[in-house]
Amino acid sequence: MTEERAQMPSPDPPSSKGQEAQRTFNKITDYYDLMNRLMTLGRHAVWCRDVAARTRVPSGGRMLDVATGTGVIALAALKKYPNSTIHAVDFSDRMLTEAASKPGASAIRWQHADANDLPFGDEFFDAVTHGYLLRNVDDVERVLAEQYRVLKRGGRVVILETCPPQGLLRYPVTLGVRVLIPLLGQVVARDRESYAYLQKSTLGFMTPEEVVAILRRVGFASIAWKKKFFGTHMIISAEKQ
C-alpha cells in the first residue's frame, strides 16, 4: 500500500461553491481562531479536543484531518496521540501557512489537497476528522465516500459541524446567529461579507439526521451524534466496518 497517490503539479480548481469558500477562508485567516473563540464563547477548542479524543487513534497509527484550517483539531490529536502520525490537509494555502506556524506544528504533515479527491491510498488511515468542512462542499456524499475509501476497516470518522437550530429555541437562536456573526465579522475582522457567508452556511446546512443518512449510504456504521451550543453545532462519529 502506498502512502500517497501520484501528485499533480497543482490541484484541480475547486467547484463554484468551493471557490467561494476558498476565497472566504483565505480572507479570514488572520482572524479565524479569534472569531471561532468569540462565536462559540470559547467552546471551539474544547470541541476540537473532543473530536480528537473520539478518534481513538492506536499507538503508531495514522490520522487525517481534512479541511484542517488553522490546525486546531490536528494539534489536539497530536497532543492526545503523540506516538501517531498526523496528516492535515486544506485547500487554503493561507490557512496551512498559519497552521504550520503554531507551536508543535512541525510534527504534523501539512499538505494542500481537495476533499473531493484525497491524495492518499485506500485504507491508509486509522481515523479521519474534519471541522466545518461539509457545509462548504457541493457534494457531501462524495466527500464522505472519499474519507471512507482512505479509512482502514474499523477506522473512525469524527465530524464537527454546524447545524440549524430546532425546537423551542429555533427562532431566537436563528435570529441571534443572523445578527451576531456578521456583526462580529464587521467589528473584529472588518469583513462583514465573509462572515455573512458563514452565517448563511451555518443556518442552511443539514440536520444531524440528514448527515447520518448519508454516512449510512456511504457504508459507515456505529454512528452516534450529539448537539452542542443551543443546537447550532454537532459532533458525529462513525466507523468503517
Amino acid type, 165: P
Q: Which residues fall within 8 angstroms of residue 68, CB to CB, at 6 or more apart?
A: 74, 88, 89, 90, 95, 96, 99, 110, 130
Residue 115, annotated ligand binder?
A: yes
Does the annotation list 90 as a binding residue?
Answer: yes
The SS3 of residue 15 is coil
d(CA 238, CA 44): 21
CA dist 55 and 233 (Å) reads 18
Phi, psi of 49 (to 5 degrees): -65, -35
Q: Which three cell numbers stand for residue 2?
A: 502506498
Q: Which helix (H) or strand (E) holds 183?
A: helix 170-184
Distance of alpha carbon 179 from alpha carbon 50, whole angstroms: 28
CA distances from 153 to 88, 150, 196, 200 (A): 21, 10, 40, 36
114 labeled binding residue: yes
How far apart CA 241 and CA 198 sit, in angstroms, is 34
| Residues annotated in a binding site | 70, 90, 114-115
| Residues annotated in a binding site for S-adenosyl-L-methionine | 70, 90, 114-115
